[in-house]
Structure 1
Amino acid sequence: MGVPDMDSWAAGLFGILDAMGGLPEAVSHVLATQPGPFAYVYLAGSNMMYHPDKLLLWLKLLTAKGVKSLVFVNLASKSEYNKLPMPADLFKCIALTKLYIGTWCFPNTADLPRTAAFPYLKELGLCNVVMMEKDLTFLLDRCPVLEKLMIARCPWPLCLRIQSHSLQSVQVCIGLVREITVPNASRLERLFLWEAWGWDDHDIKHMSTKIKIDHAPKLRYLGFLVPGMHQLEIGNTLIKVNTKASPNTTVPSVQMLGVQVKLGTYIEARMLPSFLRCFPNIETLYVQSEDDNLNLKLWGPQTSGTSKVINLKFWKEASPIECIQRHIKKLVLREFRGRKSELEFLKFIAEHAQVLKEMVIVMTYGYSPSDNLGTKLRIFMAFVKWANGCCKMMVAKSPFEQQCTAWCYLRGFDFSIEDPFDLSKCCEDKCGAH
């Protein structure tokens, strides 16, 4: 049993840690005897299918005592958790404003009452939850004031339709994604994808994800797009190589963009200029540089290299790109390995970005700015004719002490943070997010 903050009992702050680890009776006693309301409950433990009666009792008590924030995680094995549907009684916790569900099988929506809803829910996280597209639609339709949505490690090919007048931040992390469409999201400000792998029903070698944006007038943050795998569609126009910018093919509201690309792989690099033309007002550009020789990702066979050289001439022929020439003030290139393709891309940006104020190159894990790789970079950039002579270049070491997934969902949900892509403060759980 764990209590996050012993000084907060009066406010009803209460946590349950490892509830199933031999403590079901104690959990039942505490929930029954504490007066509530509960501001926060963390309910997690080994497979809850072995304690169905206790589980229903806990949900009944949480409902009666108006739990506001609930983390509800079933720590079952992969072969077990789809045998126990998430209890439908969870929908009776109508006072919830924040809900995170982990490792459950979503119940049959046909068995749920028509009145099932979370009328006050503002933040929802679904991690490793088995559900069909109709289940996700059912759930989102019953969250009328939802502002923050995260879907992580989805074990099914996700199709997400963002049609909401309340959603402001959506994150899809680590999973198979067939399609994400934004037909009408008047308040959506942030759309984040991280390791959102493509899907193809018939050919594992040509997996792709459709990203379609129709109406999102307040969308300011978007990333990480993967040229060559993500099939970007603006309005009714599929963005292809050399697609010209027009009012029908641009999202002018986007100011910060992240892309994940193999700069030395032709099929990906050739799509990058077309993607950039769709967002003419970008002020901050993040480029996650992937290893050209690494074909372990699901879309690897599709993006194998070609004999065509990706060099400075290639990038110059792709010009003009309005956001680079007139608007980009900050460029961050992460996972720098010293490849020629990376150096040529940096040179192109430096020579064409007229208002660029800051260029940040973050070394890949295991290298530092003071070693030979950092020296090579500084020497190369010293001979570049910068479009803005006042631009500052900074070479930084990876903020992480080991290779890891470089994303922080907490920063993505914290609207007070102006740069949710910046992970330099995310070491040792000091990301600065609230």
Structure 2
Amino acid sequence: METHDVGTARWFQIFAAKGVKELVFVNRIEKPMDFDAHPHLPATLFKCTFLTRLYLGFWRFPETARLPRSAAFPYLRELGLCSLVMKEQDLAFLLDRCPVLEKLMMVGCKWLVCLRIQSRSLRCVQVSYSIVTEINAVHASLLERILLWEPWGDGGRANMSSKIKIGHAPKLKVLGMLVPGMHKLQIGNTIIKAETKASPSTIVPSVQVLALQVRLGTCIEANMVPGFLRCFPNVEILYIESEDDDFKFWGPQSGSAGKVSLKFWEKAGPIECIQQHIKKLVIRMFRGTKSELNFLKFIAERALVLEKVEIVLHPESLPSNEVDAKVRTFMTSAKWANGCCELMVLPYQGTPWCYRRGFDLTNQDPYDVSKCREGQCQSH
């Protein structure tokens, strides 16, 4: 192991001497889930001061407490941390030493992620397949996107919880996937609850694209959806990742109690983003359940400027033509707020997460990954 560390340290010295600007440094290990098998990255990594783009995978990050205070990546703009073993204080140190960092991705992190975003440069943060205890946009004046995909909460398999706090993020445009059954959302000093009313202190008016992952037939989760939507009054594109109501990977075990009918949604009252701003609704992993249909009808009858509804099927659902007929039959009784709205039923499209599209800040909707599968994604 010591010889390997010396060799790795020598590599970084060579990279530094050559002024390498882009580096992907991934360790090949036989047992990627064995955290003890992850070798240490040498501190000579910080000698590569010319780096503008850095991706690290399957390493144990060096202990930053032993590094000189001058250690930094002054030109680094894009950082990917993939399946690293890393301490919270080392992550904080690293981010503090990247003064122009714009894009941060963390995938498969091998530690409890508590991410405090205090940056004048960060524009996009992506976190996936990691155990996240908290993401806190404390002071992020340029932050435009917080993209989460399968971020597991702390607290055990059946009772996961995680905190999402939004403090100062005036340019935040894209947020999700938020999970009402797992995420505790806090705006400023207010923890959002089902009964929370919209007020200047509980809204984030800059958000235009919002994605929620929710069990629409589970009362305790569905009850939080209106509260979440009230926090983002100017949302124009809404994604709903519909989860199986029998899915018990997060939230209270009693969560399935209660009935989610159309009247349930009607009791939510007026919601500004639905009535005035939502132009596109996408319901993914659609199975054709009554709870999904009721939610669709609730939106359709209130969204005055809704232009398009996309129903993306679950891979194990009925054939698309049968689901299409079922949806259209059910919606014949709906009094559409916008009679010109287009309704489409589409086959399963796979995961909605594409990290390259997420980092492409010229694309307004990072969750629209249809072109990624058609081979036309300009972000690739």
TM-score, structure 2 as length reference: 0.95
- 1:83 Cα offset (Å): 5.3
Alignment of 1:190 with 2:145, yes or no, is yes
> In the alignment, what sits opposite 1:60?
13
Answer yes or no: is the 8 Å Cα contact 2:9–2:43 preserved in 1: no
Matches within 5 A, 1:35-434: 51-76=4-29, 77=31, 78-79=33-34, 82=37, 84-200=39-155, 205-295=158-248, 297=249, 299=250, 301-302=252-253, 304-306=255-257, 308-367=258-317, 370-400=320-350, 405-427=351-373, 430-434=376-380
Matches within 5 A, 1:1-40: none
**Compared CA separation, residues 428 and 255, structure 1 to 2 (3 A):** closer
Q: Name the amino acid aligned to 1:195.
A: E
Give, in whole Å, the separation in 2 of the partners of 1:302 and 1:215.
Answer: 34
Give, in whole Å, the separation in 2 of the partners of 1:406 and 1:421.
Answer: 6
Answer yes or no: is the 8 Å Cα contact 1:187–1:218 preserved in 2: yes
- 1:379 Cα offset (Å): 1.5
Query: Among the aligned pairs, what percent are the same residue?
Result: 59
**Compared CA separation, residues 80 and 211, structure 1 to 2 (3 A):** closer
Give, in whole Å, the separation in 1 of the partners of 2:275 and 2:41.
Answer: 52
Give, in whole Å, the separation in 2 of the partners of 1:323 and 1:133.
Answer: 36
Moved more, 51-60 or 232-241: 51-60
Give, in whole Å, the separation in 2 of the partners of 1:300 and 1:258.
Answer: 18
Q: Deviations over 1:114-133 (max 9, x none)?
A: 21110000000101111111
Give, in whole Å, the separation in 2 of the partners of 1:285 and 1:192.
Answer: 14
Q: Deviations over 1:129-159 (max 9, x none)?
A: 1111110000000000000001111111110
- 1:183 Cα offset (Å): 1.2
Q: Name the amino acid aligned to 1:384.
A: A
Runs of 5+ consecutive residues of structure 1 not aligned to the other structure: 1-47
Q: Name the amino acid aligned to 1:132.
A: K
Runs of 5+ consecutive residues of structure 2 not aligned to the other structure: none
Q: Name the amino acid aligned to 2:379.
A: A
Give, in whole Å, the separation in 1 of the partners of 2:318 and 2:141.
Answer: 43
Give, in whole Å, the separation in 2 of the partners of 1:184 and 1:305.
Answer: 37
- 1:385 Cα offset (Å): 1.2
- 1:165 Cα offset (Å): 0.5
Give, in whole Å, the separation in 1 of the partners of 2:171 and 2:26.
Answer: 33
What is the root-mean-square deviation of aligned Cα atoms in Å? 1.8
- 1:207 Cα offset (Å): 2.2
Give, in whole Å, the separation in 1 of the partners of 2:2 and 2:82.
Answer: 18
**Compared CA separation, residues 101 and 322, structure 1 to 2 (3 A):** same
Give, in whole Å, the separation in 2 of the partners of 1:209 and 1:192.
Answer: 15
TM-score, structure 1 as length reference: 0.84
Indicate the SS of the match to 1:320: coil
Q: Name the amino acid aligned to 2:200.
A: P
Q: Which structure has the greater CA radius of gyration? A: 1
- 1:378 Cα offset (Å): 1.8
Moved more, 203-212 or 85-94: 203-212
Pairs aligned (count)? 378
- 1:56 Cα offset (Å): 2.4
Give, in whole Å, the separation in 2 of the partners of 1:427 and 1:83.
Answer: 33
**Compared CA separation, residues 288 and 218, structure 1 to 2 (3 A):** same
Give, in whole Å, the separation in 1 of the partners of 2:2 and 2:25.
Answer: 14
Answer yes or no: is the 8 Å Cα contact 2:35–2:85 preserved in 1: no
- 1:279 Cα offset (Å): 0.2
Bigger RCO (CA 8 Å, 6+ sep): 2
Give, in whole Å, the separation in 1 of the partners of 2:340 and 2:199.
Answer: 32
Give, in whole Å, the separation in 2 of the partners of 1:352 and 1:369.
Answer: 29
